[in-house]
Copies of this chain bind each other. A is one copy, B any other.
Amino acid sequence: MRVLVLGADGYLGWPTCLYFAGRGYDVIGVDNYFKRGAAAELDCEPLIPVPNLAERARIFKNASLKIHIGDVTDYGFLLFVFKEYMPDVVIHYAEQPSAPYSMLNRDKAAFTIQNNLISTLNIIHAVKETNPDCHIIKLGTMGEYGTPAIDIEEGWIEIGHKGRKDRFLFPRQASSLYHTTKIQDTDLLWFYVRTWNLRVTDLMQGPVYGIYYDDQRIDERLFPAFHYDEIFGTVVNRFIVQAIVNHPLTVYGEGGQTRGYLNLKDTMQCVYLAAENPPARGELRVFNQITETFTVNELAEKIQRVGDKIGLNVSINHIKNPRKEKEKHYYNPKYTGLLELGLKPHFLTDEALIEMLDVIKKYQKNIQPHKFLKGIKW
């Protein structure tokens, strides 16, 4: 089986390449290094230096991994890659992934729309043109659903209205431009699935935390890019780093915001399970890719408690919320689909947190607290 990983340089893209290559897949990893450039521009480079993809592929020493540097929004380039490798599965991580980045200004917003939608459009057209049987796995986000007052189903809902009923995509309304482009991606995929009978899995993922999955532990040069900054970092990773340098954990507003979270190790499992169990032609299959839900306060208190246990002195600071979002709300998402496919969750246990704290402690000298807050508001 041949898998094309788009966005192979990313926090999830790179471990996905290794995970599939280690399990008998031929892997083609593609990236345009957008995030490296943006991180340099915005002064928020990752905690641990990350060799370029070609260098990392050499360190990995696995002939089944090939790298191409190029832009998925360039249809000529993408079509070349599809024709050259004829993948059975394409995993689409090649999106601008940051909510704050998308809210910086008009140009970053326009870039986010163009990059995320044209990359998705190009993948759809390349699949149609070369092999309509190819399975597209797109990384969505739980953020597409927002925080509705009703239970969140896995992608679809039956609506009864005035004595009649029909089945629809679950209503989506996001709280950043970035998250909105993921809704627009879904609009795009769902249209072409119906029209061209494609085979698509949409993974509605919550915020991921973690440093690596087990096979990567051997060599720090194979760690994925670990961001702890306001722009590209995720909340658990940022809190872990803050705990190490005795910086108060920066809770936005009241901290009642509830989200579904998962370990990077489980992202690997989920994407792999999706690839191994493709949906039928003409199906847009949606999974909610989370393993447990927490409020931000619960996360902060957990990390405070575990940090104190290992001799750190962790404090919590509620700062003015730079985002427009509900700080207290109903939240009850369903997430059974991936469990039914065989997912074995790694929960956010004390041991998991201690493992992360231990690893990050080794890189304490790299931590730059000015990255925690860059002042992006909306």
Contacts and interface: CB of A to CB of B under 8 A. Distances in A.
A191 interface: yes
A80 interface: no
The copy count of this chain in the complex is 2
Which of A122, A172, A195: most chain B CB closer than 10 A?
A195
Nearest to A161: B150
In this complex, the interface size class of chain A, counting residues with CB under 8 Å from chain B, is 35 or more
A378 interface: yes
Interface stretch (A21-29, A35-43, A177-185, A240-248): A177-185
A109 interface: yes
15 contacts: A106-B121, A109-B125, A114-B118, A148-B168, A149-B164, A150-B159, A150-B165, A151-B161, A169-B173, A171-B171, A173-B191, A175-B195, A187-B187, A195-B324, A195-B378
Contacts of A106: 75, 121-122, 125, 129
A188 B190 CA distance: 18
A252 to B, nearest CB: 15
A326 to B, nearest CB: 11
Given A75-B106, A110-B118, A125-B106, A165 B149 contact: yes
A161 B157 contact: yes
Contacts of A129: 106
B184 A164 contact: no
Contacts of A121: 106, 109-110, 113
A342 interface: no
Given A113-B121, A121-B109, A190 B166 contact: no
Contacts of A180: 187-188, 191
Interface of A: 75, 106-107, 109-110, 113-114, 117-118, 121-122, 125, 129, 148-151, 157, 159-162, 164-166, 168-169, 171-177, 180, 183-184, 187-188, 190-191, 194-195, 324, 330, 378
Contact of A187 (B122, B148, B160, B183): B183
B162 A151 contact: yes
Contact of A164 (B118, B168, B174, B330): B330
A75 B129 CA distance: 34
A374 B171 CA distance: 37
Given A121-B113, A122-B106, A191 B174 contact: yes
Contacts of A174: 191
Contacts of A166: 148-150, 171
A165 B157 CA distance: 13
A151 B162 CA distance: 7
Nearest to A153: B161
Contacts of A159: 150, 157, 159, 161, 171
Nearest to A109: B121
A91 to B, nearest CB: 21
A160 B191 CA distance: 26
B171 A169 contact: yes
Contacts of A161: 150-151, 157, 159
Nearest to A103: B195
A125 B117 CA distance: 19
A335 to B, nearest CB: 16
